[in-house]
Amino acid sequence: WVLSYGTAKTVAAGGTGLGFKYSEFLVLQLIAVLFFAAGVPITGWLADRYGRRLTLLVATGAIMVFGLTFSVTLDPDKMTDARMLAFLIVGMLLMGFTFGPMSAVLPELFPTNVRYTGSGIAYNTASILGAAVAPFIATWLATTHGVGWVGIYLLVAGSLTFVALLVMRETKDTSLDAPGLDPRGAEL
């Protein structure tokens, strides 16, 4: 979504975006994606050390706070290349923070005999029902209510994720060897 918003004409020019040139915005995104890549192993390590659930709760809380900054950070009247790059870096870093623990937590939620199927269905269903429609919703919100509402949408989605994480069991010490058993050997 942010690419289309960033490259759309400004309000002064009859649009609803920030007015960046497409090639300039792509360079900013390419720089920011390096922070996404850096965030994955950092939170993977943190999840191994402190637990998947706690790491994801902290990352999700940070994403919720990030959502509250959209109307200020993406203000077209105050937009600069540096401001946009900072916004993209924070967003990509936070996204990387969720991907690090996710590669461990999803398989650990399922017994060994259905691990691949369970994690694959869970990940892809969430991608289709959540991530695939998000750019359409964000575009509609930005054009009809303003970019701050895109941040509110992120806050709401983050809140749902936060609640799901609160009720999720910690999987850090889950045995991957025995199907359907927790680390103490009890049936799941």
Per-residue pLDDT tens for 147-181?
999 999 999 999 999 999 999 989 888 766 655 55
pLDDT at 178: 58
Q: How confident is the model at residue 188 (pLDDT cuts 50, 70, 90)?
A: low
Give pLDDT tens digits for 4-55: 999 999 878 888 899 999 999 999 999 999 999 999 999 999 999 999 999 9
Instruction: Give the pLDDT mean for 139-153.
Output: 95
Q: Under 8 Å CB-to-CB from 165, ≥6 apart: which residues?
A: 53, 56, 57, 60
More confident residue, 186 or 55: 55
Domain locations in the chain as residue ranges? 2-167
- Whether residue 84 is predicted with pLDDT greater than 70 in this model: the reply is yes
The third-level CATH classification (topology) of the domain covering 2-167 is Growth Hormone; Chain: A; (1.20.1250)
Do 32 and 89 form a contact (C-beta atoms < 8 A)?
yes
Q: For residues 179 and 188, what is the distance between their CA atoms, to the nearest angstrom?
A: 9
> For every residue of 1-26, which 3-state class applies, written as one string?
CHHHHHHCCCHHHCCCCCCCCHHHHH
CB atoms within 10 A of CB 108: 19
- Tell me the pLDDT tens digit for each residue of 112-138: 888 889 999 999 999 999 889 999 999
